[in-house]
Structure 1
Amino acid sequence: MPAVAVVLVLALILVVVFLAKTVRIVPQAFAGVVERFGKYHATLPAGLNMVVPFIDNVRYMIDLRENVVSFPPQPVITEDNLTVSIDTVIYFQVTNPVAATYEIANYIQAIEQLTMTTLRNIVGGMTLEHALTSRDQINNGLRGELDGATGKWGVRVNRVELKGIDPPPSISDAMEQQMRAERSKRAAILTAEGERQSAILTAEGNKQAAILTAEGAKTSLILTAEGDREAAILRAQGEAQAITAVFEAIHEGRPDQELLAYQYLQAMPKLAEGTSNKVWIVPSEFSKALEGIGQLAKGPDSGTTQK
Structure 2
Amino acid sequence: MFGFKVVRQNHVGLIETLGKYRREVDAGLSFYVPMFQKVRIVDLAMIPLSLKGYSVITKDNAEVQTNVTLNYHVTDARKFEYENSNSVESMVQLVRGHLHDIIGKIDLNEALGSTSKINADLANAIGDLTNTYGIKVDRVNIDELKPSASITESMEKQIRADREKTAAIAKANGEARSIEIETKARNDATVSTAKAQAEATIARADAKAYEIKKLNDMLASADSKYFTDQQIQAFADLANSAANTVVMSKEDIGKYSEIPVTAQVMNQISNK
TM-score interval for Structure 1 and Structure 2 normalised by the shorter chain: 0.5 to 0.7
How many residues are paired up? 243
Alpha-carbon offset, residue 109 of structure 1 = 4.3
2:14–2:42 Cα contact (<8 Å) kept: no
Identity between Structure 1 and Structure 2 (%): 12
Q: Is the Cα contact below 8 Å between 1:89 and 1:163 reproduced in 2?
A: no
Name the aligned partner's letter for residue 22 of structure 2.
Answer: K
Structure 2 distance, partners of 1:195, 1:295, is 89
Is 1:250 aligned with 2:260?
Answer: no
The answer (yes or no) to whether the contact 1:262–1:293 under 8 Å persists in 2 is no
Trace 1:258-297 onto structure 2 (pairs within 5 A). 260-261=231-232, 263-266=234-237, 282-285=245-248, 292-293=263-264
Could you say if the C-alpha distance between residues 242 and 219 of structure 1 is closer, same or farther in structure 2, counting changes exceeding 3 Å? same
Instruction: Name the CA shift for 1:190/1:25 in 2 (closer, same or farther; >3 Å).
Output: closer
Give the AA of the match of 1:60.
I
For residues 165 and 187 of structure 1, the distance between their equivalents in structure 2, rounded to whole angstroms, comes to: 22
Q: Give the Å deviation of 1:211.
A: 4.8
Deviations 1:166-187 (A, max 9, x none): 64xxxx2x44553343234323
Shift of 1:84: 7.7
Q: Indicate which of 142, 156, 161 corresponds to 2:142.
A: 161
Higher alpha-carbon Rg: 1
- Aligned-residue CA RMSD (Å): 5.3
* Equivalent residue number for residue 152 of structure 1: 132
2:91 alignment partner in structure 1: 111
Q: CA deviation at 1:199?
A: 4.5
| Residues 71-130 of structure 1: per-residue CA shift (max 9 Å, x gap) | 353578999x999865432332333344334444654344346656x48x948x96xx96
Counterparts of 2:87 and 2:239, CA distance in 1: 138
Alignment of 1:186-205 (within 5 A): 186-205=162-181
Q: 2:208 aligns with which of 225, 232, 248?
A: 232
Partners of 2:7 and 2:13 within 8 A in 1: no
Q: 1:281 to 1:188 in 2, by over 3 A?
A: farther
Alignment partners' CA distance in 2, 1:109 and 1:238? 118
Contact 1:33 1:98 in 2 (8 A): no
Rate the CA distance shift 1:163–1:103 in 2: closer, same or farther, 3 A. farther
1:14-51 Cα deviation digits (max 9, x unpaired): xxxxxxx899883xxx353464977324445xxxx7x6
Deviation at 1:154, TM superposition (A): 1.4
Q: Aligned equivalents of 1:281 and 1:93: distance in 2?
A: 143
CA distance in 2, matches of 1:166, 1:212: 57
Q: TM-score, normalised by structure 2?
A: 0.58
Q: Structure 2: 5+ residue runs without aligned partners?
A: none
Asked if 2 retains the 8 angstrom alpha-carbon contact of 1:36 and 1:55, the reply is no
> Where does residue 23 of structure 2 map in the other structure?
40
